[in-house]
């Protein structure tokens, strides 16, 4: 795609997303790009860090904790969203991963998982009206007016094992597994729900009927993979705190604290205090309030890749960044 084509598609899609959210009464929230305690969206150490006037800081990966805080503090807010760059210390160099990409995140009160999946499908179909002329793609998105297939992670594992895969419960789904599942379901977008809690962000709600998994969905697009990631949020502050402090994300944050403290010859406790204060402030909001909430994050680059039927996400982004390249325009 040329520069003109990439910018044209980007603007059509992003403006359509904003239009959909505005029509549905979501309020945009500007959130910080640098945070004292980023939410690491991955279970791997995918965070960048930097020295912010002598304090440890992180370019943000997600703004969802800020949206949750506003919902907890202000009853007049029902639906919120934010947009900005998400920074990932991504080691993979392939057709789906970038180290920086535009992320649009939505948070709303009182949604079921089914309603959350419906919201994402409605958004996708709204965007399609403004950006898709390919009949085959439009038919896949519309799916004859039917909801897109929804399968649980356990069902996905069984499907893959029946096809000869050695995957087992607790393993993450990679590109090959996502592709096989999409093809199994008719080569249209699919939701995979109820992933193991060990694979997901600490604030995702534990399924009370199956505590090994969380109430979540990955919305998988043909050829671009997971494009939306969503979940109900954990309303029980005790569970929320336990998953936070015993989880992989916090472990990675503390390893960064140790390295930063050693480099600057300061006490580890002093360095960690800003991170712990930020998380305690977040948890305090839910100690006396049971707030049912849910939300999703949408990776715009992967949505562009799907809508353009592009082989690589780098074919639709103007300045694609991975660990081998940054700051260069992709095409003339």
Residue 303 resides in a domain? yes
In which residue are the tokens 């210390």 written? 89
Residue 101, burial from CB neighbour count under 10 angstroms (0-12, 13-18, 19+): buried
CATH number at residue 61: 3.30.930.10
Residue 322 resides in a domain? no
Write down the pLDDT at residue 40: 57
Write down the pLDDT at residue 43: 54
Write down the pLDDT at residue 195: 98
Q: Could you give phi then psi for residue 311, rounded to 5 degrees? A: -65, -40
Distance separating alpha carbons of residues 88 and 166, to the nearest angstrom? 29
Single out the residue of 265, 275, 231 nearest to residue 37, CA to CA. Answer: 275
Mean pLDDT of 242-271: 89
Residue 332 resides in a domain? no
Write down the pLDDT at residue 36: 82
- Could you give the number of structural domains in the chain? 1
Write down the pLDDT at residue 39: 60
Number of Cβ atoms within 10 Å of the Cβ of 184: 16
Residue 125 resides in a domain? yes
Distance separating alpha carbons of residues 75 and 135, to the nearest angstrom? 43
Residue 151 resides in a domain? yes
Distance separating alpha carbons of residues 172 and 189, to the nearest angstrom? 19
DSSP class of residue 10 equals: H
Residue 245 resides in a domain? yes
Distance separating alpha carbons of residues 217 and 230, to the nearest angstrom? 5
Single out the residue of 63, 20, 80 nearest to residue 291, CA to CA. Answer: 80
Mean pLDDT of 50-62: 90
Contact 174, 192 (CB under 8 A): no
Element at 219 (helix H, strand E)? strand 216-221
Window from 39-43, 109-113, 137-141 with minimum mean pLDDT:
39-43
Residue 325 resides in a domain? no
If one compares 161 and 58, the residue with the highest pLDDT of the two is 161
Residue 160 resides in a domain? yes
Contacts of 16 (CB under 8 A, 6+ apart): 126, 127, 129, 130, 131
Distance separating alpha carbons of residues 107 and 40, to the nearest angstrom? 17
Q: Range of 46's domain?
A: 3-315
Tokens of 210: 């199956």
Contact 82, 29 (CB under 8 A): yes
Contacts of 219 (CB under 8 A, 6+ apart): 117, 120, 124, 148, 189, 190, 191, 226, 227, 228, 229, 230, 296
Q: Where residue 89 falls among pLDDT bands split at 50, 70, 90?
A: confident
Distance separating alpha carbons of residues 237 and 33, to the nearest angstrom? 26
Write down the pLDDT at residue 96: 87
pLDDT tens column, 289-332: 889 999 999 999 999 999 999 999 999 999 999 989 877 776 65
**Bridge partner residues of 101 (DSSP):** 86
Tokens of 245: 């402090």
pLDDT tens column, 219-256: 999 999 999 999 999 999 999 999 999 988 888 888 88
Single out the residue of 102, 106, 98 nearest to residue 122, CA to CA. Answer: 106
**HSE, side-chain direction, 13 A CA sphere, residue 110:** 3
Tokens of 132: 């898709």
């Amino acid at each position: 795609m040329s520069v003109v084509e990439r910018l044209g598609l980007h603007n059509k899609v992003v403006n359509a997303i904003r239009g959909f959210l505005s029509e549905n009464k979501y309020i945009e929230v500007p959130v910080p790009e640098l945070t004292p305690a980023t939410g690491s969206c991955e279970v791997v150490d995918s965070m960048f860090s930097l020295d912010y006037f002598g304090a440890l800081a992180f370019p943000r990966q997600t703004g969802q904790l800020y949206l949750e805080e506003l919902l907890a503090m202000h009853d007049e807010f029902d639906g919120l969203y934010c947009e900005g760059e998400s920074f990932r210390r991504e080691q993979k160099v392939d057709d789906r991963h970038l180290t920086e990409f535009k992320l649009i995140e939505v948070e709303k009160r009182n949604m079921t998982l089914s309603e959350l999946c419906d919201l994402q499908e409605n958004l996708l179909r709204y965007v399609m009206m403004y950006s898709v002329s390919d009949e085959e793609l439009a038919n896949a998105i519309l799916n004859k007016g039917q909801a897109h297939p929804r399968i649980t992670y356990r069902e996905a594992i069984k499907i893959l094992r029946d096809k000869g895969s050695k995957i087992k419960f607790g393993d993450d789904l990679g590109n090959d597994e996502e592709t096989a599942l999409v093809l199994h379901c008719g080569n249209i977008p699919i939701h995979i729900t109820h992933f193991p809690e060990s694979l997901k962000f600490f604030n995702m709600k534990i399924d009370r009927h199956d505590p090994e998994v969380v109430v979540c969905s990955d919305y998988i697009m043909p050829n671009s993979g997971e494009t939306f990631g969503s979940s109900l949020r954990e309303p029980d502050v005790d569970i929320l705190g336990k998953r936070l402090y015993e989880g992989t994300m916090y472990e990675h944050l503390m390893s960064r604290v140790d390295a930063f403290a050693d480099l600057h010859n300061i006490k580890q406790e002093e360095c960690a205090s800003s991170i712990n204060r930020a998380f305690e402030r977040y948890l305090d909001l839910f100690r006396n309030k049971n707030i049912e909430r849910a939300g999703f994050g949408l990776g715009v680059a992967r949505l562009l890749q799907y809508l353009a039927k592009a082989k690589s996400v780098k074919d639709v982004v103007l300045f694609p960044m991975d660990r081998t390249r940054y700051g260069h325009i992709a095409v003339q």
